[in-house]
Chains A and B, each alone.
Chain A
Amino acid sequence: MLPSLVIVFREVFEAGLIIGIVMAVTSGVAGRSRWVAGGVIAGVLGACVVALFTSGISQLFHGSGQELFNACILGFAVLMLGWHNVWMARHGRELAAEMRAAGQAVVEGSKSLAALAAVVMIAVLREGSEVVLFLYGVAAAEGGASSGMLVGGVIGLALGAAVCLLTYLGLVTIPTRYLFAVTSTLIALLAAGMASQAIAFLEQADILTTLDQTVWDTSWILRDGSFLGRALHTLIGYVDQPTAMQLIVYMATLGIIALLMKVLAVPPAQQPRTA
């Protein structure tokens, strides 16, 4: 039971962190639970499809199919997260003001919700495909799946959901006046981490190998494979031995998101007044 629990939990908790953040970022926006739930369901279905086609995907592009697929969906998630931050910089204040008027908030909020639901779907799909493959392997193994393995998997899933809940509850205690700054920062760091993760996949596939020198080694402080290391890896993109290219892309992602938010934000005086 224990191996199954550990493996499922390790995959699910990373998705759980992201879902918890998205739920906290969108707290107060009408209908957001439906969007997030939709993202989770789409992610689970997508994970099953990806698991089914793993053999085919891995053969594509001279054996680099898996890494390219991961890099592309991570890249798309980076765009969605960046877009959310820019959109909030433009519309955040008017959205908060209009939250009391239910109809308008739903329409305006749903554009940003779609982007975040896509991010949830991608996170669940990436982690979920490995869980599906593992559970399928367990079931197909000689002797079939023992009830212990299945119970372990379910407990692992439940613990991952608990991580999601704790993340959400922790974040929503933040006072409203700081919420925009904190959530924008979290989203930007999430995006930068995913961007540098995409680079790591391209490096693994031998597609992008320039600037692949290891810049520093902090594995003696915190190994990125440990639980805390993986949590920080998801939240801020922590890697104990980053390559130069990973660092450049990380900083560039943060820089570009910050720049776009500053350039495209609407100053308070110019925002439309509510009735």
Chain B
Amino acid sequence: MFYLLVYAKAATKALPVMTRNTRATLMVLASVFVVSADVARADEPVPVSIAIKDHQFEPAEVHAPPGKPIAITIKNLDSIAAEFESDALHVEKVVPPGREAVVRVRPLEPGRYNFFDDFHRATQGFLVVP
């Protein structure tokens, strides 16, 4: 990561049109980005499993604790692709037939969060956070 910054500084020196102030500003922006990426990762996610069978979620209602990240595993047991999507959970992922997919959901407040199959809107489910 540190070497990235060194190369970046050298690269900006090569642009003669830049003033020292501009270069300094760019370096600060870059440093913030690099440092935040090095910061320790969030907690381990809580696993939740859902299957798609005959265009239904099984189970149609799942539970997860508040305040912890969640890893939802969706297994598509049907023969056509499904798109697991949720506006409330801010996820969308295509699950090919016969495959499984994992989506990470950020820590949630208590509530009832709707998810659905974007390719077959009648297929709906809820994630309940007590």
Binding site for B on A (CB under 8 A): 3, 6-7, 54-55, 58-59, 63, 66-67, 130, 133-134, 136-137, 140-141, 200, 203-206, 208-214, 219, 223-225, 239, 241, 243, 245, 248, 252, 255-256, 259, 263-264
Contact = CB atoms under 8 A, between A and B. Distances in A.
B101 interface: yes
A263 B94 contact: no
Contact of B121 (A7, A63, A136, A248): A7
Contacts of B99: 55, 58-59
B37 A208 contact: yes
Contact of A211 (B36, B87, B96, B107): B36
Given A3-B121, A210-B36, A259-B26, A137 B80 contact: yes
A252 B97 CA distance: 39
A259 B96 contact: no
Contacts of A7: 118-119, 121
Given A54-B96, A209-B104, A259 B90 contact: no
Interface string B8-36: 00000001011000100110010011001
A63 B99 CA distance: 10
Nearest to A133: B81
Interface in B19-69: 22, 25-26, 29, 32-33, 36-37, 39, 41-42, 45, 69
A134 B97 CA distance: 12
Interface in B74-130: 79-81, 83, 87-88, 90-97, 99-104, 106-107, 118-121
A210 B42 contact: yes
A225 B39 contact: no
Contacts of B39: 210
A225 B87 contact: yes
30 contacts: A7-B118, A7-B121, A54-B81, A55-B99, A59-B99, A66-B93, A66-B94, A130-B119, A136-B80, A136-B81, A137-B81, A137-B119, A140-B80, A204-B90, A204-B91, A209-B42, A210-B37, A210-B41, A210-B42, A212-B106, A214-B106, A239-B90, A243-B106, A248-B33, A255-B29, A256-B26, A259-B22, A259-B26, A263-B17, A264-B17
A58 B91 contact: no
Contacts of A140: 79-80
Contacts of A211: 36
A263 B95 CA distance: 45
Nearest to A63: B102
Contacts of B96: 54-55, 58
A67 B92 CA distance: 9
A191 B56 CA distance: 37
Contact of A130 (B18, B94, B97, B103): B94
Given A134-B83, A204-B93, A259-B25, 14 more contacts: A7-B118, A7-B119, A54-B94, A58-B101, A130-B83, A133-B94, A136-B80, A137-B80, A137-B81, A206-B102, A208-B37, A210-B42, A248-B33, A259-B26
A130 B15 CA distance: 42
A252 B80 contact: no
Contacts of B87: 223-225
